Amino acid sequence: MDRGGARTWHEAWLNGGAMTDLMTTPLTPLHEELGARMTEFAGYRMPVQYPMGVMREHVACRTGAGLFDVSHMGQVTIAHPDGPDAAARALEALVPQNVAGLKAGRQRYALLTTESGGILDDLMVARRDGDLFVVVNAANAQADIAHLRAGLPGCEVARVDRALVALQGPRAEAVLEAIAPGAAEMSFMDVRALPSDHGELWVSRSGYTGEDGFEISVAREHADGLARAMLDAEGVEPVGLGARDSLRLEAGLCLHGQDIDAGTSPVEANLVWSIQKIRRSDGDRAGGFPGAGRILREIADGPARLRVGLLPQGRAPMRAGVELFAGSRAVGRITSGGFGPSIERPLAMGYVDIDQADVGTTLEGDLRGRRLPVRVVALPFRAPTYRR
């Protein structure tokens, strides 16, 4: 999930981002107190980095724990008069995932698809005792909520006015357990409501870094206290948009509006794993979602292109927009790229023609008029450390 919007932190930083008439989060004063460099992102004033810098923030998350403000994301509840089972069945008309089979206390990655089989947005769906709790991307929140309301006429779709933070890294479990007992009992993709001195916390064991960690919804008035309590713990550092981007890229995770969009199918995006068998052609609840014809056909026959991992063979990063060639033939384009501090080399993701998508294939990237070698590799670049 993109955890932001179509405009990358690189674009926001390089372009300077207009800082007037922007929305803020409950943690904006804390970011400023901590000396964050602020920028525009998805209509919000957000921290791109703190004084320790992007590289050290990245490493801090991998070795200790990083605290991220993701309050710009859209938090939504979906309720049905007949309960969460009915809400889950209704939502399956808009996504190709098995929502009806989601057990209470569990969460699943899902995709809102278009009638042409593209990806309108990616989101997280949690099944709770009384409703579904959905987190959508910041730049798409308003449009997503309108889409959900139009497509779920029997449901109440409501935006939730709470803050949202993510605590990611090997120290995350110990830190959150001290604040909200019960967190340590959770496994990857579990969701729970946990009591704390900062009010009831809606916790999921998930994240956008490839690390073990949690995303925590908290009442706005308690967000500052919760964030400070986490930052007071040993090994926890604040992390901005810059390191969040390099962390998710090492983990091979997509950014909506950049790596996936309304013109990209889930199959092209290498996200078939997210479509459970029960919703595929031979499943008991096959199809019934927007774009099912194209998506199920591509699952069976294969797509014309595929999102792949890419390793530039030199030290120069290849960023979004770099065109890829096999000899004289243009075969694809990079959608995300940069430097991976954990793997200590440049890395990228992009789309290539299916006949060039095999791991080990060497292509050339056109970097400012120079053709430089880049090799197709398996994703992710760094193995995840999720608590299974």
Residue 21's pLDDT is 86
Number of H helices, E strands in the chain: 9, 19
Positive or negative, the CA dihedral 75, 81, 84, 90 is: negative
Q: Which helix (H) or strand (E) holds 247?
A: helix 241-250
Task: Indicate the angle between helix axes 223-231 and 172-179, nearest 10 degrees.
Answer: 130
Q: Is the pLDDT of residue 288 over 50?
A: yes
Q: Is the pLDDT of residue 327 over 50?
A: yes
With contact defined as beta carbons under 8 Å apart, do 9 and 245 qualify? yes
Model pTM score: 0.94
Tell me how far apart the alpha carbons of residues 52 and 67 are, in angstroms, rounded to a whole number: 14
Q: Is the pLDDT of residue 7 over 60?
A: no
Residue by residue, DSSP assigns 160-172 as --EEEEEEESTTH
Q: Work out the number of other CB atoms within 10 angstroms of the CB of residue 282.
A: 9
Q: What is the mean pLDDT of residues 130-146?
A: 97
Q: Is the pLDDT of residue 262 over 50?
A: yes
Give Cα 149 to chain centroid, integer Å: 23
| Local confidence band at 18 (pLDDT 50, 70, 90 cut-offs) | low
Q: What is the mean pLDDT of residues 32-51?
A: 97
Residue 9's pLDDT is 46
98-129 exposure pattern, b = at least 16 Cβ within 10 A, e = fewer: bbbbbeebbbbbbbbbbeebbbbbbbbbbbbe
Averaged confidence pLDDT in the chain: 95
Say which amino acid occupies 141: A
With contact defined as beta carbons under 8 Å apart, do 239 and 70 qualify? no
With contact defined as beta carbons under 8 Å apart, do 225 and 232 qualify? no
Q: What SS3 class is residue 132?
A: strand
Residue 269's pLDDT is 98
330 is written with which tokens? 């243009």
Tell me how far apart the alpha carbons of residues 113 and 94 are, in angstroms, rounded to a whole number: 7
Q: For 98-120, write each residue's pLDDT tens digit.
A: 999 999 999 999 999 999 999 99
Tell me how far apart the alpha carbons of residues 112 and 108 are, in angstroms, rounded to a whole number: 13
Residues 6+ apart with CB under 8 A from 208: 1, 3, 166, 168, 244, 247, 248, 251, 253
Residue 5's pLDDT is 46
Q: Is the pLDDT of residue 87 over 60?
A: yes
| Local confidence band at 388 (pLDDT 50, 70, 90 cut-offs) | confident
Q: What is the mean pLDDT of residues 364-380?
A: 97
Q: What SS3 class is residue 231?
A: helix
Tell me how far apart the alpha carbons of residues 76 and 314 are, in angstroms, rounded to a whole number: 44
With contact defined as beta carbons under 8 Å apart, do 326 and 363 qualify? yes
Residue 1's pLDDT is 54
With contact defined as beta carbons under 8 Å apart, do 31 and 53 qualify? no
Q: Is the pLDDT of residue 20 over 70?
A: no
The full set of domains in the chain, from first to last, is: 16-290 (3.30.1360.120), 304-388 (2.40.30.110)
Q: For 156-209, write each residue's pLDDT tens digit.
A: 999 999 999 999 999 999 999 999 999 999 999 999 999 999 999 999 999 999
Residue 6's pLDDT is 41
Whose structure tokens read 């943690």?
A: 27
